[in-house]
Structure 1
């Protein structure tokens, strides 16, 4: 009987390995096709032909093909209240010499765009994050792993699509994970300008499981009250910047360098405010609700 079960066991092992091998081949094919399309676009940009109709038509076709390839790699996905999937890349080059910095994946969003999600194969995510850590303007935290990267607004600039704004993280939220799953949550604020002492009200999540990485952002709708101790740290910077602004406006000099000084004062005050907020948050009434919303968001995206 042992002689019978041994070939059977080998056959079952090979059968189980086949889907994994096929998936790896499909992913390799996608990455190769993406890199080839980017190289072609960079060559066109270098030759100053990127605006040609033929080049635009070719890039559009390439991105349509890449979308199909990546969708096949990831498999069918649906998320409650989120719309149809779309390919994240809408351009292949950042400038004439640099490939796009954007995370390539399949994105989902609700009708008012207050919740969005990007899903990509884990190897694609890891390679993207490693590349972003090597950018000239990258903060050191981008090279210290996903959890550390989520503490920087640079991480979200290219992981998620923003229409003129950005996401400013304030503090990490503890969330419960399941075996084989890595997940991190951050409370922050999606904003169009420097945050100052604005209160956070958005939750970002990174989930890595089952060979996929998911980066999501959703409105938290929290009832956060001002924290007096933190506003006390912000106020002197606000007052100092306001006083200097009056002087600069009165002098009315073209390209006055003191505008940079004003922004530096405000940035320092905002950093002090956010540091205080992160320290005080766990003892505030809103904190439990924030953690609950983060865990609910994680659960909502964990079905695929």
Structure 2
């Protein structure tokens, strides 16, 4: 065979190969499939919320089915994952929307936990994580640190509120722990406290980690149980704030007025005292006996996150 006819056959053959290969290539991107499915389901939930139908049985069932499907899709993206001491994963999103104005602020990933729930870890892809963090930096009232990179973001309570949801309260970072990252990895660790109110002089008892590497991003917390003793210098800073707040509270309770604005003043005093205590703790902690144990615990948690 020669001449123009042979060229036409070759062109037809190439066209046939491309026509069969392109659908395969498109289907070979489970991350894009996941994002498209998530965004479509989220748009449907937002539309239902705007029309006041988010509580309808049909809408609830549709969202439950969507969440189940998204969990399967994300598992396909991340592949089979297991961690020592942690149970089977669950899809981290419990709701698709924050409210009728937009999607959920939680980090979408696979959530792992120990039986006692003392250790929790959320795993996602690095691209999903980066997109999520960029979105959180644009939230109303978001601290500037959220737009300043992972290391800075991990030092804010707002980061953990959405990255690894809890049953109540928020994670308050106290002091960064100097952990070592392996080549090609970003690793950050903080010693902090899960709290629902001004923390006062309560010592931190949880370690948080952030690890990015191998195409995955992970955020986790684990109980520290360090048995750390009080730091006298920091307690001394907290006590005047406590005394002032306690005295005002006694007066408010004695007056027994409805909606007394002084309750807000009490909270403000406690917040100021808590901030002063944490600033002292950040300065003094590296010199305390418990600090080395906290770093060791964080290193062990990171090793677990690496699958070791």
Q: TM-score, normalised by structure 2?
A: 0.90
- Give runs of ≥4 in structure 1 deviating > 4 Å: 21-24
Please state if 1:287 is matched with 2:291.
Answer: yes
1:87 to 83, 91, 94: 91
Matched, 1:96 2:100: yes
User: Do the aligned partners of 1:23 and 1:73 also contact (CA within 8 Å) in 2?
Assistant: no
1:194-248: CA deviation from partner (whole Å, max 9, x where unpaired): 2111001110000000110000110111021000000010000000011111222
Deviation at 1:170, TM superposition (A): 0.2
Q: Are the aligned partners of 1:118 and 1:160 in contact in 2 as well (CA < 8 Å)?
A: yes
Query: Post-superposition shift, 1:142?
Result: 1.2
TM-score (normalised: structure 1): 0.91
Residue equivalent to 1:66: 70
Retained in 1: the 8 A contact 2:84–2:307? no
Figure out how many residues of one structure are paired with residues of the other and give that number. Answer: 285
- Following superposition, the deviation at residue 251 of structure 1 comes to 2.0
8 Å CA contact 1:202–1:218 kept in 2: the answer is yes
Decide which structure has the larger Cα Rg and report it. 2
Higher mean alpha-carbon deviation, 240-249 vs 39-48, is at 240-249
Q: CA offset at residue 141 of structure 1?
A: 1.2
Asked whether the 8 Å contact 1:153–1:166 carries over to 2, the reply is: yes
Cross-structure match for 2:59: 55
Paired with 2:271 and 2:111, the residues of 1 have a C-alpha distance of: 32
Distance 1:23 1:295, change over 3 A: farther
Question: 1: distance between equivalents of 2:218 and 2:28?
Answer: 19
Most deviating of 248-257 and 211-220: 248-257
CA contact (8 A) 2:172 2:193 kept: yes
Q: Secondary structure at the match of 2:67?
A: helix
Q: Which of 9, 34, 37 does residue 38 from structure 2 map onto?
A: 34
SS of the residue aligned with 1:213?
strand
Deviation at 1:150, TM superposition (A): 1.1
In the other structure, the counterpart of 1:17 is: none
SS of 1:56 mapped into structure 2: helix
Structure 1 match to 2:263: 259
Distance in 1 of aligned mates of 2:304 and 2:26: 28
Provide the C-alpha distance between the structure 2 equivalents of 1:181 and 1:297, rounded to a whole number of angstroms.
15
Summarize the Cα distance change of 1:185–1:257 in structure 2 as closer, same or farther, 3 Å threshold. Answer: same
Which residues of 2 match residues 1-304 of structure 1 at below 5 A? 25-303=29-307
Counterpart secondary structure, 1:188: strand
Looking at structure 1, the residues matched to 26 and 47 of structure 2 have their Cα atoms a distance apart, in angstroms, of 32
1:255 is paired with a residue whose SS is coil
Q: Which runs of 5+ in 1 are unaligned?
A: 1-20
What is the distance in 1 between the residues matched to 2:174 and 2:202? 11
**Partners in 2 of 1:24 and 1:301 — Cα distance?**
27
Between 1:265-274 and 1:185-194, the stretch displaced more is: 185-194
